[in-house]
Chains A and B, each alone.
Chain A
Amino acid sequence: MKNAVIQVENLTKRFGDFTAVDNISFEVEKGEIFGFLGANGAGKTTAMRMLCGLSNPTSGGGTVAGFDISQQSEEVKKHIGYMSQKFALYEDLKVWENMRLYAGIYGVPRKKISEIIDKMLVSLDFESEKNTLVKELPLGWKQKLAFSVSIIHRPEIVFLDEPTGGVDPASRRQFWELIYKAASDGITVFVTTHYMDEAEYCNRVSIMVDGRIDALDTPTNLKRQFEAVSMDEVFTKLARGAKRGDN
């Protein structure tokens, strides 16, 4: 791969005698939308935490944005955005206050912050909600805001952990249009989802089963390979073979 922004080789994480991530290897290209799929408990979040420099591999390793994930985890954190599935925004802060806070945390130069916030409010069509408390926003809006905040510092890669969980079909589509836009601006998108129509929106998709990557290709090729009509069928065929339970 000419322009790999994520390179992972034999990445492994064990907790005691439990192998959460089992010797996975893959690369992700700059500007790619990479879908990281798997059943609950397959090891996705553990793998993602290692890529974000939040957890050290037991063996193997890799680079993200050119930095070693175990040796240079602080550098990795500066060059990525991360939107977690559970917590992304402060509910008791206003929309603009969340933007201000994250811009500061991600190290956006102080002089540029207010300009960036104004631009972001316009592009999200959120100007009227600038002073709204985040807890009063509908879920779909929160998630769009959380995504925009996670790329406020123009990172090379953004990691999205189930960003559309529980979001209605219309809002999910608006969310994906933001993802497309970020990708067309050159930001690499690494995303997990349980919606199989969203798997189709990815350039390439990997499917984890029991800590291993059992399939990795474009949606079209995966459907051909597994003789399936949809990504849902591909996923079901692979995940039904899982040995370990959801824990």
Chain B
Amino acid sequence: MIVVHNISKQYRKVQALSEISFSVGKGEIFGLIGPDGAGKTTLFRILTTLILADSGTATLNGWDIVQDYCRIRENVGYMPGRFSLYQTMTVEENLDFFATLFRTTIAENYDLIKDIYSQIEPFKDRMAGKLSGGMKQKLALSCALIHRPLVLFLDEPTTGIDPVSRKELWAMLQKLKSEGITIVVSTPYMDEAMMCDRIAMIQKGSIMTIDTPQGIIDKIPQKIFAVKADNMSCLLADLRKFESTETCHTFGEFHHITFRYDNEKLCDELKFYLQKLGYNGVKIKEIEPTIEDCFINLTDSRI
């Protein structure tokens, strides 16, 4: 459905994208994962024909992003990261406006947006600017879908959304996928990255790796250990001082640590080191890496 070939883009001194290539199949949920400033939004804007790449080509459904931009605009839905609906129009007016732009009506495609729009329909006469963050996102998604696009581009759709609403939104995306809609989505939430069919890890304008989430996890070379003790904030500093430590980061209830080399005795040595420092309740266990470990490892050189 989407084929991207050697796309590059430069803003003055900053190389936003360098020779990006990938393809996305029909009905696939494709995730763009990377730190702030990696170039994700630039890529969205190029693929939705809002800005031109400096070099490289891309097609959507066989249409070229430069030659056939009109066809593309008719057939994609785009939800930018920043709320960009009309604040001084009501919920219903916004939706109706977007439906009209695409020569359709709310009634015609109501079934597609029903799950999400029905939640904000009780407030359809409220100004869009007066909605809470969660409701704004639901309205923006409804507006992006009202013309039944072939491809949906979502730039961080769940930022500022609580965990329960995030799960609802992803259930909705799975449903859209089952209707054959292709979805390209960026997210700072690694649990959402796991729900994509494939993800591209982007950093400084280049793709580091593309694979299924599990494929990326399987490629991680180091063993990862989770460590816990009674004083977690001091523990972080002391773990980093341990001579065999390669990386150490907070991970909720535990800290995750990787070592410079593989040695069965390291865990015992670490336990001894921590007990000597006076920590109580020290727990160390090897764990399966998560996608968040992969992200941190890939971006760690930056820190």
Which residues 217-242 in A have Cβ within 8 Å of B in the complex?
219-220, 230-232, 235-236, 239-240
Whether the Cβ atoms of B252 and A239 lie closer than 8 Å is no
Check: A156 CB closer than 8 A to any chain B CB: no
Q: Given A167-B188, A236-B163, are A173 and B250 also a contact pair (CB < 8 Å)?
A: yes
Q: Which residues of B contact A40 (CB under 8 A)?
A: 132-135, 160-162, 165
Check: B122 CB closer than 8 A to any chain A CB: yes
Query: Which stretch in B17-25, B29-37, B48-56, B210-218 binds the other chain?
Result: B29-37
Rounded to whole Å, the gap between the CB of A60 and the closest CB of chain B is 24
Chain A, residue nearest B298 (CB):
A170
Assembly CA distance A183 to B234 (angstroms): 12
24 A-B residue pairs with CB within 8 Å: A39-B162, A138-B37, A166-B81, A166-B159, A168-B36, A168-B188, A169-B190, A169-B299, A170-B299, A171-B35, A171-B36, A173-B250, A173-B296, A194-B162, A197-B250, A201-B250, A220-B253, A235-B164, A245-B119, A245-B122, A246-B119, A246-B132, A246-B134, A246-B165
Check: B5 CB closer than 8 A to any chain A CB: no
Interface size on B, residues (CB 8 A): 42
Chain A, residue nearest B138 (CB):
A246
Other-chain residue from B135, B156, B295 in contact with A170 (beta carbon distance below 8 A): B295
Check: B64 CB closer than 8 A to any chain A CB: no
Whether the Cβ atoms of A166 and B156 lie closer than 8 Å is yes
Whether the Cβ atoms of A169 and B163 lie closer than 8 Å is no
Q: Contact flags (1/0) for A76-106 with B, using CB distance below 8 Å?
A: 0000000001000000000000000000000
Rounded to whole Å, the gap between the CB of A190 and the closest CB of chain B is 17
Residues of B within 8 A of A (CB): 34-37, 81, 119, 122-123, 131-135, 156, 159-167, 188-191, 232-233, 236, 249-253, 292, 295-296, 299-300, 302-303
Q: Which residues of B contact A239 (CB under 8 A)?
A: 162-164
Rounded to whole Å, the gap between the CB of A192 and the closest CB of chain B is 10
Whether the Cβ atoms of B135 and A39 lie closer than 8 Å is no
Whether the Cβ atoms of A41 and B132 lie closer than 8 Å is yes
Q: Which residues of B contact A195 (CB under 8 A)?
A: 189
Other-chain residue from B135, B164, B296, B302 in contact with A240 (beta carbon distance below 8 A): B164
